[in-house]
Amino acid sequence: MSRELEVPAVVVENSEFDEILRVWIGSDAVVTMQDLFGPNAHNWGMVLADVGMHIARMRLEQDGIPEIETLQALEEGYRGRMSEQFNIQHRSLTGRN
């Protein structure tokens, strides 16, 4: 049984789109990605923001959960993962606060 997600029609119809990230979840996350951005990590931050908003909108549409509630849960999950899995203690992405 294939569980691969369908490529959106707008992507199939337009050659300017590039696939940059796939994530498989098992006992831990396994990630593969293409380095389309080179040393510009700022662009990866924009990708993470876009993914977060897509998740927030999906939960609003499917379950009526406010976007801000989902975004807060995503941030808590991020901080928890950084702390527990990678032993990095901080309250923000930069560790400044």
Q: What is the pLDDT of residues 60-84, one digit of tens each?
A: 999 999 999 999 999 999 888 888 8
Say if 91 falls within a structural domain.
no
Residue 94's pLDDT band (boundaries 50, 70, 90)? low
Say if 92 falls within a structural domain.
no
Report the distance separating Cα 81 and Cα 79, nearest Å. Answer: 5
Say if 95 falls within a structural domain.
no
Q: Which tokens hold the place of 48?
A: 């993470």
Say if 63 falls within a structural domain.
yes
Say if 81 falls within a structural domain.
yes
Query: Of 19 and 52, which is predicted with more confidence?
Result: 52
**Residue 2: pLDDT over 80:** no
Say if 97 falls within a structural domain.
no
- Residue 46 belongs to domain spanning: 9-86
Say if 17 falls within a structural domain.
yes
Query: Of 29 and 89, which is predicted with more confidence?
Result: 89
Residues contacting residue 60 through CB under 8 Å, at least 6 positions apart: 66, 67, 70
**Residue 92: pLDDT over 80:** no
Report the distance separating Cα 26 and Cα 6, nearest Å. Answer: 20
pLDDT computed for residue 1 by the predictor: 46
Chain centre to alpha carbon of residue 54 = 9
Number of domains in the chain: 1
Residue 8 DSSP code: P
What rounded mean pLDDT belongs to the chain?
Answer: 85
